[in-house]
């Protein structure tokens, strides 16, 4: 149990949105994410034991207890995100001890806002502060990504953990996922706002499809390496190089390569559009991204396609695309502020009629990354 005289640490860890740049992060490419105002809150306190760690989710009303001497993955459990963080911290410092943690979330489950990264980063950041472990943000980001790989079984890129840690209010992050060089881009959307629409279709990124896409990209790289030097990942490929394999490389692999190369270019163009306060240009890039995800990368689904197509037919919408790993979650829509309510209501009505499901529209704005609370 928590001891009354032990100092507690309070932490807010945000989810993230990704304006554009889907599935480019694990290809060493570019992404344009932001932290959100939706977040998890943590209360962490040392419990005086050498290694007994207890985490309780107030949202799920479910807890887990682990010992630092026995950090083993548990099949199909959200606890793997926490266990993976403890494993990463233990491997980097000897200062971690027993603690009690409680957390709650305003992040909608399965919506593609990366609640897993929020859990990982909030726990790692909080324990780093609670025990004075002295780890730098870059180390915390890396160990949270490792937790996802080794304990949750998802070979994700660095984007989610980076955005959750390094987010800045009213800014997107133009991130080079190879070097981790980054630049804050002001959210200059003029009279336009970002409307997320949760399809309420759930997906598991630990499933085969996500990891399969990564393997397909790696296979495409091997094809390219056979002809061109200097190709370490799809980040290094140009469209002319990819085009040279059309009809030779298996079509599925060629489509994956083409999408990633085109999406990297769209990310850079989107950053320029923000800097130029050009929402029309940005909207076109968002819609082009969805078409690539739908037809070339094949990670969309009928519900997401319907929501994106319907949004684009409505007045005041400049662009729409699926956001996240795919096969469910949210669409991201660039909508004029005067049309936000009407667009949300129309999408809810059309989606209910078409699929018998309730869609959940809500506005999002870029927020700050993981931080201590009073």
- Which positions are annotated as active-site residues? 160
Query: In angstroms, rounded to a whole number, what is the distance separating the alpha carbons of residues 282 and 269?
Result: 8
Nearest to 47 by CA among 101, 11, 1, 5: 1
Residue position matching structure tokens 């298996």: 250
Residue position matching structure tokens 């949750």: 152
- Which SS3 state, helix, strand or coil, does residue 307 take? helix
Q: How many CA atoms lie within 13 A of 25 on its CB side?
A: 25
What are the strands of the beta sheet with 182-186, ordered from one edge?
Answer: 30-31, 171-176, 182-186
Q: Cβ contacts of residue 311 below 8 Å, gap of 6+?
A: 197, 317, 320, 331, 333, 335, 343, 347
Query: In angstroms, rounded to a whole number, what is the distance separating the alpha carbons of residues 56 and 52?
Result: 13
Strand-strand pairing, 8-18 and 182-186: unpaired
């Amino acid at each position: 149990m928590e001891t009354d005289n032990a100092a507690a640490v309070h932490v807010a860890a945000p989810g993230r949105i990704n304006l554009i740049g889907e599935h480019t992060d694990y290809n060493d490419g570019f992404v344009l994410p932001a932290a959100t105002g939706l977040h998890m809150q943590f209360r962490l306190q040392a419990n005086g034991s050498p290694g007994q760690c207890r985490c309780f989710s107030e949202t799920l009303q479910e807890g887990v207890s682990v010992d630092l001497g026995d950090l083993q993955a548990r099949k199909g459990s959200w606890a793997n995100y926490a266990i993976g963080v403890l494993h990463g911290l233990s491997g980097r410092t000897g200062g971690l001890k027993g603690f009690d943690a409680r957390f709650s979330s305003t992040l909608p489950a399965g919506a593609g806002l990366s609640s897993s990264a929020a859990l990982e980063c909030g726990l790692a950041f909080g324990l780093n502060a609670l025990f004075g472990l002295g780890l730098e943000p870059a180390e915390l980001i890396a160990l949270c990504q490792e937790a996802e790989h080794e304990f949750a079984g998802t070979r994700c890129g660095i984007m989610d953990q980076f955005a959750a840690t390094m987010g800045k209010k009213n800014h997107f992050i133009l991130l080079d996922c190879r070097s981790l060089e980054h630049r804050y881009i002001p959210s200059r959307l003029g009279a336009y706002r970002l409307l997320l629409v949760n399809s309420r279709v759930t997906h598991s990124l630990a499933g085969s499809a996500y990891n399969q896409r990564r393997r397909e990209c790696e296979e495409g790289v091997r094809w390219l390496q056979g002809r061109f030097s200097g190709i370490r990942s799809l980040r290094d490929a140009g469209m002319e190089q990819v085009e040279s394999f059309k009809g030779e490389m298996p079509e599925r692999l060629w489509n994956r390569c083409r999408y990633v190369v085109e999406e990297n270019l769209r990310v850079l163009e989107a950053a320029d559009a923000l800097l130029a306060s050009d929402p029309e240009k940005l909207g076109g890039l968002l819609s082009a991204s969805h078409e690539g995800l739908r037809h070339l990368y094949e990670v969309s689904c009928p519900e997401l396609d319907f929501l994106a197509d319907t949004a684009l037919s409505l007045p005041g919408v400049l662009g729409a695309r699926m956001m996240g790993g795919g096969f469910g979650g949210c669409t991201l829509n660039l909508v004029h502020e005067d049309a936000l309510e009407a667009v949300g209501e129309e999408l809810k009505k059309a989606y209910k009629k078409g699929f018998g499901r309730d869609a959940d529209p809500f506005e999002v704005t870029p927020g700050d990354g993981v931080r201590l609370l009073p």
